[in-house]
């Protein structure tokens, strides 16, 4: 019996073991089945999904910057283009030590402590695969040496990029502007969703035409497909799709004329604008002195920047667009047209000039103390009689003058393509109340009548005013972009501004007499060639505050910054007007002395060029010595 009980216990132990083994086996089988099922799901059913995820981890897409479009003049000459830029980059994730890599590359290029800190600072703020510029503008010899040594320079990449080039330098600085890398402020104020703006050191237009048509000049980015390892280091390039280059922009400028005009005023603080009176195309747009936009590409030192800002000639200011000056006597055509329109005067009206006009307790003087005697509007323009226009202003009031000024383009913005346009100021009853909280006084009308007091205008506005008078009273709009990517830019419409032809004729006659009649204030700037007759108007505008500060000193004895501004506006040919010009020479003292000769030389060259076959060299006896 004892023996039988032991057998039973042994049997039960064996049976229990078998059940456990069976359960374990079943569990193992179930686990194996689950693994096989999951593997089947991953490798067969969802293979495409996980292959894509795997490729995403292994393959990166990099955005490629396209070439920036060129800027050309009306004859197809390149005004802004691109040139190769040999540079050295550092990719932080491709080196174990940035300092070591910089030490190695310093055998080929100088690496200052300041540069080293800059590279390390940028490396910390960018993703590891983003390249940091170490140096650019390298010579071919240095670039070649670094290329040969590249296998022994971890993280260092010798790269060929593009950099903007301005072959005409200062001659077009205020027209073209310049480009520079996208800043944080640009991302806040100019982000248009273009991913190119996120590229390191991607250049965008910061001023001038470069800024105005930046989106068209940028082009569209390309894509580079690269394979990287588990550490994110590039193994090879798998494919590349080049971007679309930016559009070429053709301007209305004539570079021959632009260079001549810039040379003509190079020693002055001055501006000159030439406009086609038929369609508003700008042929010359000069602000002197200028700056070299190539300096912005290379990078300004703080010292150089401070020098330019401290320069009394203001090379950074676009005087043609943003310089606001009292127009002086160049404004008298506005007053004359307003007087004719209101019926206060006509072509035969005579006003006696005795040298001054008394209004209340104040005396308003003519520039000729002895007076001009009895003069008509044409006579008054020819000799620039203040008293005639004082009287017209007294009769019609400041609001009539302001209305005519606005119709002629003064006190207006034209949505001009070059940024920075200023409006100037044209006083009126409403304007003075809004600006100063004061009513208009009778003296305001007299001051405004001769382009002084609160009246200010830009050289661009003066050119437009003259063009609208020259073309018979059509509101041409100035523009400087002629074509974008080969497509013709439509000229803005030029509706009539409601000035009768007989009134325009009287103003033309007066302006013609200024230059071509005996006693005209610009007689020394007469053009004598066939088909080159020019009509114009001189102006001399007092610098605000100069009278009280300058005392009784005259001429060159007056400090330069207190001397009167010199102005001249003109159109030609008189018989069939084609071009209008406005010249302002800051502190030039007299329009006939300083501004009219400049306009004469520029207009002479332009008219001679028109008379030559296309492409023929233009000779001018007006080239400055």
What is the tens place of the pLDDT at every residue in 337-359?
999 999 999 999 999 999 999 99
Rounded percentage of the chain residues whose pLDDT exceeds 70: 85
Mutual orientation of helices 501-516 and 459-470 as an angle, nearest 10°? 110
Residue 386 banded pLDDT, cuts 50, 70, 90? very high
Task: Judge whether 390 and 450 are in contact, CB under 8 Å.
Answer: yes
Q: Nearest CA to 624 among 260, 324, 88? A: 260
Answer with the residue of higher pLDDT: 59 or 386: 386
Residues 6+ apart with CB under 8 A from 583: 265, 270, 271, 272, 459, 567, 568, 569, 595, 596, 598, 599, 602
| Least confident piece of the model among 32-46, 312-326, 341-355, 575-589 | 32-46
360-377 pLDDT per residue, tens? 889 999 999 999 999 999
- Encoding tokens for residue 409? 């383009």
Host H or E run for residue 80: strand 78-90
Q: Write down the H helix ranges in 440-545.
A: 442-449, 459-470, 501-516
d(CA 71, CA 565): 34
Q: What is the pLDDT of residue 554?
A: 65
Give the gyration radius of the chain's Cα atoms.
37
d(CA 351, CA 388): 6
Please say if the pLDDT value at position 520 is more than 50. yes
Q: Report the relative pairing of strands 487-488 and 535-541 from DSSP bridges.
A: unpaired
Superfamily of domain 255-305+313-611: DD-peptidase/beta-lactamase superfamily (3.40.710.10)
d(CA 212, CA 378): 42
Q: Report the relative pairing of strands 249-251 and 59-64 from DSSP bridges.
A: unpaired
Cα first-last separation, the chain: 142
Please say if the pLDDT value at position 543 is more than 90. no
| Least confident piece of the model among 143-157, 289-303, 409-423 | 289-303
Overall fold of domain 65-250: Penicillin-binding protein 2a (Domain 2) (3.90.1310)
d(CA 222, CA 243): 4
Residue 58 class from Cβ within 10 Å (0-12 exposed, 13-18 middle, 19+ buried)?
middle
Q: Nearest CA to 448 among 466, 426, 463? A: 426
522-538 pLDDT per residue, tens? 999 999 988 899 999 99
Q: How many DSSP H helices and E strands does the chain contain?
A: 23, 21
Residue 614 banded pLDDT, cuts 50, 70, 90? low
d(CA 69, CA 311): 33
| Domain extents in the chain | 65-250, 255-305+313-611
């Amino acid at each position: 019996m004892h023996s039988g009980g032991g057998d039973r216990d042994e049997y039960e132990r064996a049976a229990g073991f078998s059940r456990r083994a069976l359960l374990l086996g079943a569990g193992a089988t179930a686990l194996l089945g689950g693994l096989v099922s999951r593997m089947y799901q991953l490798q067969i059913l969802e293979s495409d999904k996980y292959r894509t995820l795997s490729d995403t981890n292994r393959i990166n897409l990099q955005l490629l910057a396209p070439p920036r479009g060129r800027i050309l003049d009306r004859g197809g000459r390149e005004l802004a283009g691109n040139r190769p830029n040999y540079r050295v980059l550092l990719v932080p994730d491709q080196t174990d030590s940035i300092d070591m890599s910089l030490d190695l590359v310093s055998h080929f290029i100088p690496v200052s402590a300041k540069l080293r800190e800059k590279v390390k600072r940028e490396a910390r703020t960018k993703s590891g695969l983003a390249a940091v510029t170490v140096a650019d503008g390298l010579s071919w010899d240095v670039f070649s040496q670094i290329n040969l040594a590249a296998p022994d320079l971890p993280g260092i990449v010798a790269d060929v990029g593009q950099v903007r080039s301005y072959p005409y330098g200062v001659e077009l600085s205020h027209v073209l502007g310049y480009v520079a890398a996208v800043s944080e402020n640009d991302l806040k104020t100019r982000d248009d969703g273009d991913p190119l703006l996120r590229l390191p050191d991607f250049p965008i237009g910061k001023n001038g035409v470069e800024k105005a048509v930046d989106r068209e000049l940028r082009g569209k980015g390309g894509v580079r497909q690269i394979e990287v390892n588990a550490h994110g280091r590039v193994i090879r390039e798998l494919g590349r799709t080049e971007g679309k280059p930016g559009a070429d922009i053709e301007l209305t400028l004539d570079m021959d004329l632009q260079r001549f005009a810039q040379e003509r005023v190079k020693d002055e603080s001055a501006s000159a604008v030439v406009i086609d009176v038929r369609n508003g195309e700008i042929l010359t747009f000069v602000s002197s002195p200028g700056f070299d936009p190539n300096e912005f590409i290379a990078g300004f030192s703080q010292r150089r920047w401070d020098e330019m800002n401290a320069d009394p000639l203001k090379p950074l200011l676009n005087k043609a667009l943003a310089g606001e000056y009292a127009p002086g006597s160049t404004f008298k055509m506005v007053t004359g047209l307003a007087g004719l329109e209101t019926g206060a005067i006509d072509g035969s009206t005579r006003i006696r000039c005795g040298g001054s006009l008394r209004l209340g307790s104040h005396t308003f003087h003519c520039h000729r103390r002895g007076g001009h005697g009895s003069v008509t509007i044409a006579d008054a323009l020819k000799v620039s009689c203040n008293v005639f226009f004082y009287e017209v202003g007294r009769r019609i009031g400041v609001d009539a003058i302001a209305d005519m000024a606005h119709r002629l383009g003064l006190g207006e913005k034209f949505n001009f393509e070059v940024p920075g346009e200023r409006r100037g100021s044209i006083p009126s009853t409403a304007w003075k109340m809004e600006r100063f909280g004061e009513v208009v006084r009778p003296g305001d009308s007299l001051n405004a009548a001769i382009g002084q007091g609160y009246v200010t205008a830009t050289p661009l506005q003066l050119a437009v005013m003259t063009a609208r008078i020259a073309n018979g009273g059509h509101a041409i709009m100035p523009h400087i972009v002629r074509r974008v990517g080969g497509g013709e830019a439509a000229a803005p419409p030029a509706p009539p501004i409601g000035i009768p032809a007989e009134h325009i004729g009287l103003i033309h006659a007066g302006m013609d007499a200024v230059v071509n009649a005996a006693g005209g204030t610009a007689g020394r700037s007469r053009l004598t060639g066939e088909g080159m007759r020019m009509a114009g108007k001189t102006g001399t505008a007092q610098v605000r505050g100069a009278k009280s500060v300058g005392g009784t000193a005259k001429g060159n004895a007056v400090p330069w910054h207190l001397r009167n501004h010199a102005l001249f506006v003109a159109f030609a040919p008189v018989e069939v007007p084609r071009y209008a010009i406005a010249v302002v020479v800051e502190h030039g003292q007299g329009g006939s002395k300083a501004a009219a000769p400049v306009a004469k030389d520029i207009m002479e060259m332009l008219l001679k060029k028109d008379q030559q076959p296309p492409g023929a060299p233009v000779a001018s006896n007006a080239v400055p010595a």
